[in-house]
Amino acid sequence: MDDSDFCKEFNSDREEAEYFKRKAKDYRELYQSAQEELDEFQISSKELEIELETQLKQAESKVEDLGIKNARLQSEVDSLRERCTGTTSSFQKKIETLEDELAQLHAVKRELNRYIRELEQTNDDLERAKRATVCSLEDFESRLNKAIERNAFLESELDEKQELSAVVQRMKDEARDLRQEIVIRDKQDEKKVKPETSLPTTPATPIGPNTPLTPSARISALNIVGDLLHKVGALESKLTTCRKYVNPPRSAKSPLHSPR
């Protein structure tokens, strides 16, 4: 009820009473409506309060659980941080060790590359030496084959020389015998010169085995012996020269004994 209701003028008391009855009825209805709303509000607020308390308890329980989980996770985080720090330190040490090993491997690789280059150079030198040795061996084999052929030829000449030596020796013996026989017969002829000068000339008789040689025959025999001796001397000189060629001094180095 506002102030305008009290300032309002009525024609009669009955009208005023009716007016205020209506107002009272309106306010009663408004009060009842407000009371009902209040009751409903109180009921709903109690229900809401109960629900909020339940939710609060749940939230507090959840907060407590989350706090426990947070503490556990924090502990795990600290443990993981420590492990991570230790692992990082270990990895750093391993990285440093691997870097040192890598540097050593690079040094070894450089050394191996240098050694490989030296081996390749040595291999090239050995190849050249091998080619030179092969050429020397081929040349030596060619000379050896020629020497073998010449040695075979000389062996045949040596056989011939031995035969000639035997012939010469036999002819020397014959020549010595002839010289002795000539000397003896010369002495006999000298003894017979004077008696034969007084005897008449007799016809020539055939020359037999015991007939003395004429001067021309003796000269011919001596010439043959001299020629044979000269040939034997030439063969001996040639054989000595060939032996020097076939059997060189042992101090001379041969490609067969050269290092490969």
Q: Give tens-digit pLDDT for 193-245.
A: 655 544 444 444 444 444 555 666 666 767 777 777 777 777 777 777 766 65
The verdict on residue 58 lying in a domain is: yes
Task: Please list, in sequence order, all residues whose beta carbon lies within 8 angstroms of the beta carbon of residue 1, skipping any fewer than 6 positions away.
Answer: 23, 27
pLDDT category of residue 155 using cuts at 50, 70 and 90: confident
Tokens 């073998």 sit on residue: 148
Question: Residue 173 is encoded by which pair of tokens?
Answer: 């013996």
| Residue 33 lies in domain | 3-88
Mean pLDDT of 23-34: 90
CB 147 within 8 A of CB 246: yes
54 assigned to some structural domain: yes
27-31, 128-132, 186-190: segment of lowest average pLDDT: 186-190
Radius of gyration, CA atoms only, the chain: 77
256/151 Cα distance (integer angstroms): 20
| Number of neighbouring beta carbons within 10 Å of residue 144 | 15
216, part of any domain: no
Q: Is residue 42 part of a domain?
A: yes
Cα(71)–Cα(66) distance, integer angstroms: 8
Confidence class of residue 116 from pLDDT cuts 50, 70 and 90?
Answer: very high
Residue 50: inside a domain = yes
Q: How many domains, the chain?
A: 1
Residue 8 in any domain: the answer is: yes
In a domain, 173, yes or no: no
**Torsion angle of alpha carbons 144, 146, 147, 150, nearest 10°?**
160
**What's the rounded mean pLDDT across residues 16-20?**
84
Residue count (the chain): 260
